[in-house]
Amino acid sequence: MVQYQQLDRTLAALADPTRRAVLERLSQGAASVTELAEPFGISLTGMKKHIRVLEEAGLVRTEKVGRTRRCELGPRRLDDLSEWMESYRRMLEERYDRLDELLARQDRELENGNKNEGDTK
């Protein structure tokens, strides 16, 4: 269950467009909180809050360097999230594959039915 609480934090962190943009920016390299806040036109305090959410989710790592806080991508990658979704998709896919097979069986039965009908004529 613990890993799902972690996942919940990740999903919450990703739910916000600013935070997603921050991740995109950090994927190009580390930046200070000030550098991150500027392009979004939000206050330093506001950006710090966003960073904290991202940090708690493991998506961002920060380090105090002199008087600034340096931010970079954290240990947690979005791959974890896509793995989770992929597992769910595979579970659904098994059921849907079985439905494919049922529909294909029906196709064959319909085909045979028509053939038999043709034979008797």
Binding mask 35-74 for other proteins (x = CB under 8 A): ----------------------------------------
Residue 69 phi, psi dihedral angles, 5° rounding: -110, 120
Q: How far is CA 96 from the centre of its chain?
A: 23
Among 16, 63, 72, 100, binds other proteins (CB under 8 A): 100
The answer to the question of residue 104 lying near other proteins (CB under 8 A) is yes
Q: How far is the CB of 5 from other proteins (least distance, A)?
A: 9
Distance CA 94, CA 113 (A): 29
Evaluate the CA torsion angle 16, 21, 26, 28 in order and state its sign. Answer: positive
The answer to the question of residue 99 lying near other proteins (CB under 8 A) is yes
DSSP 18-53: HHHHHHHHHTT--EEHHHHHHHHT--HHHHHHHHHH
Total chain residues near other proteins (CB under 8 A):
29
The answer to the question of residue 77 lying near other proteins (CB under 8 A) is no
Distance CA 105, CA 103 (A): 5
Q: How far is the CB of 57 from other proteins (least distance, A)?
A: 14
* Interface ranges with other proteins (CB under 8 A): 1, 4, 7-8, 11-12, 15, 84-85, 87-104, 106-107
